[in-house]
Amino acid sequence: MPSFATPPIEPMQIRFDFSTAAVQPAGPAMTRRMSSLSGLFAREDLRAAEASGEDPVVYSVVSSPVPEFARELPQSITTIRPGTIGGEFFMTKGHQHPDPQAEIYLGLGGVGGLLMFNGQRSTWIDMAEGVIGYIPPGWAHRSVNTGTEDYSFLAVYPGSAGHDYGWVLEHGMGQRAFSDPTGHVLTPYSAICV
């Protein structure tokens, strides 16, 4: 058996509870409220107003105890609440992996989208229960809830990939997803639809 520099992780069973979107055993968890999403929505003025008022939860992330160490495969489950700000759907911050490595998403419940941007081109994958979204190395990614219920998905990513949120603030995501009578519409990143 090879020896690794990091503390050894034992084989384990990890259970997902579809009714609560929780994992057992549980690792780190995080909640993102509107106040932590500064500069991400097209209508920053409306976001700031919501943040200083009700400050709703936009999404939460729970993880298994697999750590972010090289050669490990951490997993997390993200649940995005339904809602819009200025017509733009609730979404994750989005990030780039500084060590470009691939990632896999699996839709668990609700409906949403996986928006990816490589600096030149952006692409969108419709997500729902049972859909696998493949994120190739070098593509920044953001998730969007396009439905009226919670949208949940599993993410599995290399433990050494890292997370760079500044890249998205600097480069954007290429497109934005707004509510539309047909469901959702994608606009250029600079567009403001109300």
| Minimum CB distance to ligand PAN, residue 105 (Å) | 7
User: What mask of x and - would describe binding to ligand PAN in positions 8 to 47, judged by CB under 6 A?
Assistant: ----------------------------------------
Query: Does residue 39 come out as left (phi exceeding 0), alpha (psi in the -120 to 50 range) or beta?
Result: left
d(CA 26, CA 28): 7
**Which is nearer to ligand PAN, 123 or 180 (by Cβ)?**
123
Q: 46-57: b or e for each residue (b if 16 or more CB lie within 10 Å)?
A: bbbebbeeeeee
**Torsion region of 87: left, alpha or beta (phi above 0 gives left; psi -120 to 50 gives alpha):** left
Considering only the stretches 5-13, 16-24, 155-163, 184-192, report the one whose residues sit in contact with ligand PAN under the rule CB under 6 A: 155-163
Q: Which residues pair with 104 in a beta bridge?
A: 134, 156
Q: What is the pattern of x (binds Zn ion, CB under 5 A) and - over residues 93-122?
A: ----------x-------------------
Give 98 or 188: the residue with its C-beta nearer to Zn ion: 98
- Measure the CA angle with vertex 181, ends 177 and 183; round to 5°: 45
- Which stretches of the chain bind ligand PAN, using CB under 6 A? 61, 76, 78, 92-95, 103, 141, 143, 155, 157, 163
